[in-house]
Structure 1
Amino acid sequence: MSVHTAGETPDTCVVVPTIREYECVREYVANAREYGHADRLLFVLVTEDFCDADAMRAMLDDLDVAGVVFDESDRHDWYAEHGIGDYDHVVPAASHAQTSFGLLYLWAHDFEFGFFIDDDTLPHGTDFFGGHYRNLSYEGSITQVRSADDEERWVNVLHQNFDEHGLYPRGYPYAAMGGGHESETVDLARGDVVASQGLWTNVPDLDAVRILMDGDLQGQAQTRTTAADYGEDFLVAPGHYTTVCSMNLAFRREVVPAFYQLPMDDNGWDVGRFDDIWSGVFLKRAADVLGKRVLTGTPLCEHNKAPRSTFDDLNNEVPALELNEHVWEVVDDVGGDADTFRGAFAAMADALADGGFEAWTNSDFLTFVGEHMRDWLDCLDALDAGRPVPSAAAPAVAETGGEADD
């Protein structure tokens, strides 16, 4: 592992989990350069030992953009170098939830902002990074949406053209389907928004059941979305929940303690595909407690999901489908007196780790998740207590003993 540095010291860590089409980074860098943001960015590519990490490093070098590539071996070396080897289990192996490693890197190097970008996406011809930056500093009037159902308090991020496409996104509880929405105008002060969720054109982010109902066996969808399916940006009202997808997402550093991407795939229940969904539930609860907001809408990305078996996704989702109906209820009334994201997340971790959910299938998985949430907070504490680490744009010799432009 080595760091390629370029331009000024970045304040933004862009995390790209990839085992496939890492060349998408070229399009994002081109977009950043066109609109004047490239010097603010450091790309962290999180990959596996069986992937061509050297080719990814060569791409970053060719692009002359600040960046670093971590395969599995590099990650374990990084844990050891930063004194957190005892916590390497918090980031699951061979899972999309390895985006949590990017959060650790961001935390250790004091980045102010973070971006999650999936490798099967591309930016549209608009100011992608600037759109997220503007959202995170938004002030003024904006639409706030709530569920019309006082019991199932969920808002569909695809509600704006629902009458045409009838879609619900991955992770949306089945019990909450069919309810209407209400909206109002509220005012935001600068700094209220702590996360910006951009939505997606082309392949919508659906769960396997809905993909099968849409008649697609290749993990995509017959129904596609376009920019015309989306209207104005919006907030979800306090006390109401929504799905958060990490394929196109920006956030402030302060949320990292409450934004752990949960231990999917690498677990004894074979549960997958709920890492960003549940982490989004926890983030929303923490934000509500602290009077902060999550903004949803633009900037859009183009989601070009590669074909794969819908039934493989279904097998990953089924073990936790019942839990997904209830996990938001578990955290909905805890941590109300917290005054930090860490405090709110700790309360949610305790609620899950203490168990008592035997009525639900695979309820022990929630305890497992809660224990890992506690470990996540301990891991961040260990990073804070460890030796000083070099800035992200410092020569790579400080971390690797190698040359800066490898």
Structure 2
Amino acid sequence: MTTGVLRNPDFLRFLTSHVGNELGANISRVALPLVAVVTLHAQPAQVALLSALQTTAFLLLGLPAGVWVDRMRRRRVMMVSDLARFLLLATIPLAAQLGVLSIGMMFAVAFLAGVAQVFNDVADQTYLPSLVSTPQLSDGNSKLEVVRSGSFLAGPGVGGLLVQLIGAPRTLVATALGSLASVLFLGSIKTPDKPPASGEREPLLRGIGAGLRYVWRDGLLRMFAASSVVTNVTVGGVLGLSVLFLADEVGLAPGLIGMLLMSGGFGGVAAGLLGALLSRRIGTARMTWLSVTVPAPFALLLPMTQSDWRVAFFAVTSIALSWSAALSTVGQITYRQTTVPEHLLGRVNASFRSLMWGSVPLGALLGGIIAQHLGVRTALWVLMCGRVVSFVPLLFSPLPRLRDFDQTQASS
């Protein structure tokens, strides 16, 4: 019987490093724009650009980062990227204290911190197989998902509270210290940081192509990608319209809107807590398939949200779909970590990250266009109908026939 992953001291150090990293990253999503507004009196367009720059690096550098990570020691990449985030974020309160902070400097810090986060995320998903045994991967990914979802849920609230108590610039000090704590916990891991695979290095574009070709040739990875792109396009559209929908169409107060927008985090935390149990009871592949299909009909509740008791529809949909996304993510990452050759894992993970992050702004644009011509509620109906059928590509993969992913080679 496989022992629990929490009995692995090095995994506990890795998990604790995630608490500092993920919580800090989610606090900074609130703190950076608030520094711009409160300290620099930034205009709305500047604040929007600042927020966008925090994720732009995923689109620009996601694929090359996979090639570079495959050429380096993964834990070292995470430590360097965390240290870079610490130094970058610490410059903002220092510059504010000296009276030299500018919006241009904040743009640069937001983008460069996003670059560091790209490398951290790719190395993170690639590193776990060298830290725990293969049977423990699903359990480990579930525990990491609890931290990610919990940080996404708590980060904005903690960030807002810290800004109110100590001010926006000082809040970034706390965020930077979270990155520094992550460096220290990663550095305390005893398991040797495996060197990259030896051999002749491919040119960058050929290396990127190798990762994309592997995704395309693997029937399950290809359909995972197709299903996830459809899902993220619809989610991106809904995220872009949610505040407008709840404020103008439904007529809710800002406080209630904030609570509804945070509600999805509870689904992610629940999925992380249950992921290891479900994986053992019904199999990781079956858990992944059911997590995509069973919650899908709940998407149709969201456009029916009203200001009366039906306001709960928005929360129910958010919790159900976040639960779905978190469990599906655990399953997909476990499959990649189990089946993809180690020398390609960084590039394959980066390919998925780029597809996922690239789909979200596309969905926001699509949702805006539909809402402009047909109305916000109609746009949400279109998007949520798309979310309901997002599992269809997986019908053409081996997934519905599998219990565990170690059956894949025999079924493909």
Which TM-score bucket, shorter chain as reference? under 0.3
Query: If each structure's helix is expressed as a fraction of its own residues, which one has the higher value?
Result: 2
Q: Which has the higher contact order (CA 8 A, sep 6+)?
A: 2
- TM-score normalized by the length of structure 1: 0.25
- TM-score normalized by the length of structure 2: 0.25
Query: If each structure's strand is expressed as a fraction of its own residues, which one has the higher value?
Result: 1
Rg bigger for which structure?
Answer: 2
